[in-house]
Structure 1
Amino acid sequence: MYTVDLNCDLGESFGNYKCGMDEKIIPYISSANVACGFHASDPLVMEHTVELAKNYGVHIGAHPGYPDLTGFGRRNMQVSEEELKAMIQYQIGALKAFCDAFGVSLYHVKPHGAMYNMAATHTGLAEAICRGIREVDQNLILLAPAGSEMFRAAKKFGLRAAGEVFADRAYEENGTLVPRRKEGAVITEEEVAIERVVGMVKKGTVTAVTGKEIEVQADSICVHGDGPKALAFVKRIRETLAEEGVKICPLSEIVQ
């Protein structure tokens, strides 16, 4: 039987600003990537999201990003490797405090937005992220694209890594995500997204924007929680995968 984790970025509201449909989406996922206050979220949102995940038995991961609330962490920033490592540790620590308060475990780390994309192709940034994770808790799983610099750095530093694929994003030929500023970067057609997900999980391939079939490693499928069709996508993905004989389970059961 095929197995895969279904994750979503949650806890990305801030103060009076509501983002995403966390309460509606969380019953359908197995892992939640919780924003840690730099690109989105605040202490009350983090607390609420951790409690929500606990209530639904969803595994919790830290979703650290660049300190860029205005740009939602999607703008590239030039930071030193030591600064990036400290950012990672700071944000993991903040979320872990809420996990400890609710008596639940922190299972994984998934960098957000520009940090994720930059570290996917930059060895130094990738290694800084992995050093930060390892120094906090070497048992945490790094969620990143297989074949990326982050994935390689995780292996180098003795961390477990899970290959992530995206239900609602287009791919370049080299396996990186098409930048959001480009037309077609975000997939809004439900049927297209579902078909791509099934192919990634069962065949290990996806069609890039050039039309070329590329290999992917689908340990976990991400649906962005702030997307306009996030709830519809996650419902259909879960239903379709069940029909296809694919079991949804958290990362800790997939990555040993």
Structure 2
Amino acid sequence: MTSAPPLNLLDEALGFLSGGGGGGGRMILVEDCVETTGAFILHHLLKRSLSPHSSDVVVFLSFAHPFSHYDRILRKMGCNLVMQRDNKRLLFFDMLMLDRLDRDKGKTSADLLLALYGKVQKAVEVCSSPVDTRRITIIIDDVSLMEVDANGSTNLVLDFLHYCCSLTAQFGCSLITLNHDDVYSTMDRPTLLLQLEYLADVVIKVEPLVTGPATDVHGQLTVLNKGLQDGPGKSRNKVNNFQFRIKDSFVEYFYPGNRS
């Protein structure tokens, strides 16, 4: 039996236990920008959820890339998505393909999202049955493209996300979403972004360095944990700030000035 994967600063900021999966019952929002992508965080959380030290299941809704894209990246990280899919630990919905096929049948955006939620709900209920107590993580890549897919309807996207959030409360599953912060840079108060930040238990902001590009540091992370219990009837927010460097098969996390 192999040893549990070591924790890094991101895992510690998210409150993972050594070898644990996606952190049940929470919504994690990853916000990035054109200059600094946050896709590597989704890849990390996907790999952690599919760890051999857990029996967790991932429902992955991809509006951004086909399955081959994630499989290629995760293989470099030591995770075989084809095997995980065959073992029913990964349920992958390629919305690039499904959306095209269903629209040819005359279905509307509302029809498509409602049908998609039905499939997600069924998967969660099956994994939460008395004979199958595995935790399930729902990953959406990405919300801004879901909004495009819904013909710009913020309400449809928010309804879908509210439904998914109800699953985290009812079944203890997790919801992880990626959204692009700079998509809304020309808007005063973007409803979707504000609602996402309100719904999320954890907000991870991926940003470029304030001092500009650097060869050995690729960006900085701010991890906001909301509503942590701090005694009876008390809660608090916790903020962690650190930097990162993306390598071929893993990511280094470190505090400013402490990169080894």
Give TM-score, length-normalised by structure 2.
0.40
Instruction: Report the TM-score when normalising by structure 1.
Output: 0.40
Higher relative contact order (CA 8 A, sep 6+): 2
Decide which structure has greater strand share: 2
